Copies of this chain bind each other. A is one copy, B any other.
Amino acid sequence: MPRLVVRSFAISLDGFSAAPGQRQQAPFGKNGLRLMNWVFATRVVNSKFGRPGGDEGLDNDFMAKADENIGASIMGRHMFGPPPDVADKPAWRGWWGDNPPYHHPVFVLTHEHKSALEMEGGTSFTFVNDGIESALEQAFAAANGKDVRIAGGAATVRQYLKAGLIDELHLVQVPLLMGQGERIFEDLGGVEERYECVEFTPSKAVSHLRIVRSAR
């Protein structure tokens, strides 16, 4: 059975995944990009951006596996684009340039009506206006038997977790303080009865946690 998964999703030690003040020059908000230092340090991500070097080891292994068997992605509006007051918004084609690092169909949850975008390298962006179940259905259909990954952000992961739709969640706790921002674990009372943490794998830089839906 194809599954709905979250992989390599970073949260700060105080629980935040993005800082306030998101804008075109700061996709993770003010000073929020620090959350991703462990990602940019890995060999696999450096090589994705055509750069030599980078660390091997546990974090690199997890990043290498993050895309494995993924046939489609789902993301929230903020993960696709900057806040609505950006001047070139209509022409916006995502944060990632002409050849985004997905290489499969991506479904964007939004209230905006916008035609689908075909990008280079096999990525497409389809804008879904009728809710998380609809996006999930479309993503599973597009994934052709492979798994679907929720790319982010925190609000999107939280909605799917609250609905009990996520099969497996790989979180990465990063030892830094953000102080404020968006978090997954807000208004999720009851999640502790439906999900459990079954794996704790710390690297030198971060803690990897695997959370799965409990057997019912």
Contact = CB atoms under 8 A, between A and B. Distances in A.
Interface stretch (A96-104, A113-121, A139-147, A186-194): A186-194
Interface string A172-216: 010111111000110011111101110110100111010100000
B13 A14 contact: no
A171 interface: yes
Given A14-B184, A180-B188, 9 more contacts: A13-B173, A15-B185, A176-B192, A177-B191, A177-B192, A177-B196, A178-B192, A180-B189, A200-B206
Interface hub of A13, A188, A190 (most chain B Cβ within 10 A): A13
A189 B14 CA distance: 11
A179 B175 CA distance: 21
B195 A205 contact: no
A209 B207 CA distance: 11
Contact of A177 (B14, B173, B177, B211): B211
Contacts of A177: 191-192, 195-197, 211
